[in-house]
Amino acid sequence: MTSIGEQAARLKWVQGLSWSEVYERFPDESQAKIRSAARRWRKSSLTNNEERVILEHVGANQLEGVADSRRMKTLDDLICECQVDLDIWDVERFKLNKWESAMKLSDDSVHVEPLYQVSATFIKKRPDELFPVIKPVRFDFEELEWPEKSIVPKQFVRTLVIADPHFGFVKDGNKLVAFHDRRVLDVILSVARIAKPDRIDIIGDLMDLAEWSNRYITGPMFYQMTQPALIEAAWWLSILKMETGADLYVYEGNHEKRMQDAIIKHLPAAYGLKGVFRQHPALSIPNLLGLDELGAKWISGYPADEGWPCDWLMFSHGNVARKGTGKTIKAVLENMEVSRVIGHIHRMELGARTLHYRDEQRPIYGFCPGCACKIDGTVPAKNPRNDWQNGCGIIDVTEHLLQVKPVFIDGGQALFGGRVIQATDRLNDLRAFAPEWNW
């Protein structure tokens, strides 16, 4: 088993993480212990005239090289030792560290010797095409018929609200470990069948897109995980649509915005680029998910993404988060004059506030339906033990009235419609739909 010292040293001096980022990888250890262990391991690698040279592939188009040595003191030394072909690779970054090591000799004298660390990042001059290539998910719906909506007049409009599924994966060897909770998502399908909503609003962070983040450094275990996440998300949306026939609205959240931000920063020439006769940009969530084919409406513009089932009720992903149960909804309602349903915080919260006017009083309501992702620490977050809850919500609206029905989902089970709903394992159906992936 790799020691904490070696792991921390590789993160710091091979991958180039800051100490604060290294500390986050070892939440159960003190910062002093992590730093001391890393330095001891690095210095021990040079004892007895040993030297350590590491050259690692980071994806198909990047190399990371590092040498702890007495004799290698320059970039040329590292290139020569690692046999890096400069006809193929360019040097992107280079760093030289020097420190002194003191050793007590047999005659009690002290010998001081300089030690060196040379590290560099190389990128391919002509990058290889990455496979699997990210491509849109397309369905053939010509032979499928959506369920017809009820023609019986109703006195209210019913909405199923879902927040933060975070479809995404991390690689564990050859296995894909999901961020989204398939049990929760299957219970939501059952709730939808029973509730028969007129519309379904997925209010942000349908996708996780960890590998597109500009904020956090991601390792190789996140690489090329966008395509399977798109496939499973589109597959689940198609089932939701086919089993309900409801109008479907998908909102942009801060995680979907990661793709746009990454394109602006790293590939501006592709920003907003559309295929001929296509409504959405080629590299965009609505295009890649095939939302037009699903008949779904994409609500963009985070954090100004807004859906209005009626004039006094607003849906959006939200960009406010407060610590403590009920604190976020309280903060949201303080600045609102209409009722609001949000996601983003992954917590089940419900609150109310009364507005006072000259001749009347009017209550407004705030609601967060929890999340549909895993809450066991699998989803990348600052803290692996978060105050998150799984759930969804049913919202009935008339011209003047509002009824909010939270649906609590615990361990793949929920109590709804007078019955206990138990999640069904649909993994074999997914494997039949996309057999090329190791689900």
Q: Is residue 135 part of a domain?
A: no
The pLDDT mean for the chain works out to 87
Q: Is residue 290 part of a domain?
A: yes
Q: Which tokens go with 93?
A: 């970054």
CA 388 to chain centre: 15
The structure tokens listed for 129 are 């095409």
Whether residues 112 and 225 share a domain: the answer is no
Whether 82 and 200 map to the same domain: the answer is no
Number of domain units in the chain: 2
My answer on whether 251 and 175 are in the same domain is yes
The candidate with the shortest Cα–Cα distance to 314, out of 305, 301, 322, is 305
- For the domain that residue 362 is a member of, what is the CATH number? 3.60.21.10
Identify whether 339 is part of a domain: yes
| Residue 110, φ and ψ in degrees, nearest 5 | -110, 125
Residue 163 falls inside a structural domain: yes
Of the residues 107, 124, 141, which one is the last residue of a structural domain?
124
**Distance between CA atoms of residues 87 and 419, nearest Å:** 67
**Whether residues 314 and 403 fall in one domain:** yes
% of the chain beyond a pLDDT of 90: 56
Q: Is it the case that residue 222 has pLDDT exceeding 90?
A: no
pTM passes above 0.85: no
Q: Are 120 and 161 part of one and the same domain?
A: no
Residues 163-221 have pLDDT tens digits of 999 999 999 888 899 999 999 999 999 999 999 999 999 999 999 999 998 776 667 88
Instruction: Look at residue 133 and tell me if it is in a domain.
Output: no
Pair (368, 236) in one structural domain: yes
Report, in angstroms and rounded to the nearest whole number, the Rg of the chain calculated over CA atoms: 27
Q: How confident is the model at residue 108 (pLDDT cuts 50, 70, 90)?
A: confident
Pair 244, 288 in one domain: yes
Instruction: Residue 203: give the domain boundaries.
Output: 157-433
